[in-house]
A = this chain, B = another copy of it.
Amino acid sequence: MNKNKDFPKRYTIKDLVKLVNGKYEGKLSAEHLIEGISSIEENDKSKITFAENKHFLSRAADMAKGVVLIDNSIEDSNIDNVIKVDNVRLSYAKIAEKFKCTPYHASGIHKSAVIEDNVALGKNVSINSNVYIGKNTEIGDNTVIAPGVKISENVVIGKNVEIHPNVVIECHSEIGDNVIIEASSVIGSEGYGYITNDEGEHYHIPQLGNVVIEDNVEIGSCVTIDRGTQSSTVIGKGTKIDNQVQIGHNVKVGQNCLLVGQVGIAGSSILGDNVILAGRVGIVDHVELGDNAIVGAASIVTSDIPADSFYLGNPAQDRLQELKARAVRNKLPNYRRELNKLKDKDL
């Protein structure tokens, strides 16, 4: 039915070589147009891919008809068309960036957007359909706000920010430059704070702090980050958060941390820099993880973790200790039998 799918993003091999500071050796002309990236298996003449080790270099030699990024050090790859670079993966990422889908990037303000008083919009912003922006909010240059995003009042958003559809940003949130937030996430919701009276009823303590998302942070979809009780919940520079992560009020996450899918961090806990929380890790409230700490998948952290350590388990402990405990676990029924034998002999 619909025959006109456009391919607006095309670059010559020459363009791409220049982008990654590479060296081209191949049969295709340097003016040949590349229209996208692909896996090695699907690499036709209109595509570019990459190959990083012997296994993939060999597969590329067999089947890659388009262009392949390879390391500078490779002499004879037997691949039809290569661009040689210092860092293959980083170069691939730079090129892939050029082919990204950018559906919400038409500059200007859609007529259906609802923008309250005293909102300050930077240069070249894209405010898409059905966006809501509350009063006094500031949005920096080049920022893209996708359809359906709801930004409350007194929010500050930096430059080159990309906010996907239906994200909600509550009042007083501060978002830095180059931040990406995927669809349907919620920044700055009310945190979970209650006092219980003598009748067992829970009275809500209003959470009047905010959320601070620093520069270069990336946040997945359906992530929830609560605002602080009196000050800020902070996500440090360069930290990357995967889907469905929950971050409680007053949490401080350091710089360049990696929080993988479905992680949960309870209120007031603190992560240092470069901390890695694998998928589904849970952190209880009021604990501290030192710089460079790593926590293995599905672990539950119930007390402080030293810097540079690798923890695992529920409750989480040093990973080697945890693996020892696990190794023994399945042998326990045997111990029972052996213990019984010894007891019988002993009688």
Contacts and interface: CB of A to CB of B under 8 A. Distances in A.
For chain A, which range describes its interface: under 10, 10 to 19, 20 to 34, or 35 or more residues? 35 or more
A331 to B, nearest CB: 8
Nearest to A114: B129
A201 to B, nearest CB: 5
B324 A333 contact: yes
B103 A110 contact: no
A59 to B, nearest CB: 13
A99 to B, nearest CB: 6
A19 interface: no
Contact of A204 (B93, B120, B333): B93
Oligomeric state, in number of copies? 3
A238 B202 contact: yes
A328 B137 CA distance: 56
28 contacts: A90-B203, A93-B206, A99-B206, A101-B208, A112-B112, A128-B132, A132-B147, A146-B150, A147-B150, A148-B168, A150-B183, A166-B166, A183-B189, A184-B184, A190-B220, A192-B243, A201-B256, A202-B256, A220-B224, A221-B226, A222-B224, A246-B261, A264-B280, A279-B282, A282-B297, A282-B298, A328-B332, A328-B336
